[in-house]
Amino acid sequence: MERRLVLVRHGQSEWNLKNLFTGWKDPDLTEKGVEEAKQAGRLLKADGLTFDVAFTSKLTRAKRTNQLILSELGQRTLPVVEDEALNERDYGELTGLNKDDARKTWGEQKVLMWRRSYDVPPPGGESLKDTVARSLPYFVREILPEVLRGKTVLVTAHGNSLRALIMTLERLTPDALLQRELFTGAPIIYDLNADSTVERIKDLAAAAVKAAS
């Protein structure tokens, strides 16, 4: 029985390009982001994957990435479940600010602490720990059971909400989780055992780069 989960961070958004804290705001993809999403679909297709169900956040950049991936796979009518539990971390008062401007306002060390600590939230926002507390129960309740039934499941979401899932899948400590980089439009495939432990991890984007070199 195949128990396959694929995680994809959305393609580059307009606010990623402008170096802004995005959080729950809803900018669309850039042209580069559209191409990243399409390339993710092409990589999945080349690997022979098709999906039984897809999950995404409520934010446009993740939903559109999901649509573009499924379009590349010829699966435009696949059932897609949207839930704000998979939304990006809420950056509170930092939302919409240029990251350089935020450093000028609050100082380099304080902004770095908000961005890179596990449990210290920015003013009015969520810490990574808060994001894990929001996203992980949804994963365990709604997504993981689909995978364990033998389905191939696509989750298209955001850097921090996906880190919440990866923390459990890869059994990472909070410190290790903070170091875990997730690139836009880069599919990661997890094959799970019946007890939900990970049997195999395959980073399709890294594999494609290695194959081309």
Q: Pick the closest to residue 19 from 121, 96, 115 (CA basis).
A: 96
Q: State both tokens at 60.
A: 């446009």
Indicate if 158 belongs to the active site: no
Contact in structure between 29 and 13 (CB atoms under 8 Å): yes
Cβ(208)–Cβ(47) below 8 Å: no
Catalytic residue among 10, 36, 72, 158: 10
Per DSSP, the residues of 22-60 read -TT----B-HHHHHHHHHHHHHHHHTT---SEEEE-SSH
The number of helices, as runs of H, and strands, as runs of E, in the chain is 10, 6
| Phi–psi pair at 19, nearest 5 degrees | 65, 40
Sign for the CA dihedral angle at 113, 116, 122, 128 comes to negative
Residues pairing with 191 in the sheet: 4, 200
User: What does the alpha-carbon distance between residue 189 and residue 44 come to, in Å, rounded to a whole number?
Assistant: 9
The answer to whether 142 is a known catalytic residue is no
Please identify which of the residues 36, 72, 88, 126 carries the catalytic annotation. 88
Positions marked catalytic: 10, 88
